[in-house]
Amino acid sequence: MSDALSDGGSDHDDSQEDVMTPVELIAKLEEAWLNEKFSPDLLENKSEIVECVMEQLTHMEANLQRVSKGDTKASVHRMEIDRIRFVLSSYLRSRLQKIEKFFPHVLEKEKSRADGDPSYLSPEEYAFAREYLANTETYLKAVALRHMPPNLQSVNMMKAVPEPCLDSFVFLRVKERQDNIMVEPETDDQREYVVDLEEGSQHLMRYRTIAPLVSTGAVQLI
């Protein structure tokens, strides 16, 4: 019985990509979770991480099936699974919330991306966004638009739904030192200036200035 549990962590390493241990995988998931939570815009999807974590969880749960209920070890494993599952679903949920909020813009961005570029949405999220758009349009038509005069019967979703506000302020922690980050002035009589972001330091600034650093992983939103 204890063999079944001990296997859980170790024999799994082989099926992972060689570069990431489960420990790093969980750390990556937590990073992605916090970044997604605090960024005003939808970030690139991390379906690779999500899939790997799901695989780990399913594997561990399958192992736990074989263990009796009262086992101390098993209960510790279950608690850990619950914690990881919470982070995972909170991550996916905050992505869905953003898709619901900005769906026309998200779809537009997805349409206009170049062929080789990585997709912003996972296939499931893409289907969700498409369906959400179609349903909203049908709903608006059924409830209001069809009663309008013919020239007012269409609505431009791109204009009707707000865009993500990239000028929002965010809190961030620096993971890799960055020099000469331009800070735009708030008022006309101030001049723009540059700051150096030192490793480990924490800052409050506009998302727009540091958005590229979030996707490269050089800074962590907090």
- Determine, following the binding rule CB under 8 A, whether residue 86 of this chain makes contact with another protein: yes
Residue numbers 153-192 binding another protein by CB under 8 A: 159, 161-163, 165, 167-171, 183-187, 190
Give the gyration radius of the chain's Cα atoms: 22
In whole angstroms, give the CA distance from residue 47 to residue 94: 14
As given in the structure block, the two tokens for residue 87 are: 């982070």
Q: Which stretch binds another protein (CB under 8 A): 20-28, 111-119, 140-148, 149-157?
A: 20-28
Choose between 139 and 171: whose C-beta lies nearer to another protein: 171
| 3-class secondary-structure state, position 217 | coil
In whole angstroms, give the CA distance from residue 51 to residue 148: 47
Residues in the chain: 222
Residue type, 40: P
As given in the structure block, the two tokens for residue 165 are: 């506000």
Residues binding another protein: number (CB under 8 A)? 51
Question: Which residues are at the interface with another protein (CB under 8 A)?
Answer: 2, 5-6, 8-10, 22-23, 25-26, 30, 37-38, 56-57, 60, 72-73, 76-77, 79-81, 83-84, 86, 90, 159, 161-163, 165, 167-171, 183-187, 190, 195, 201-206, 222
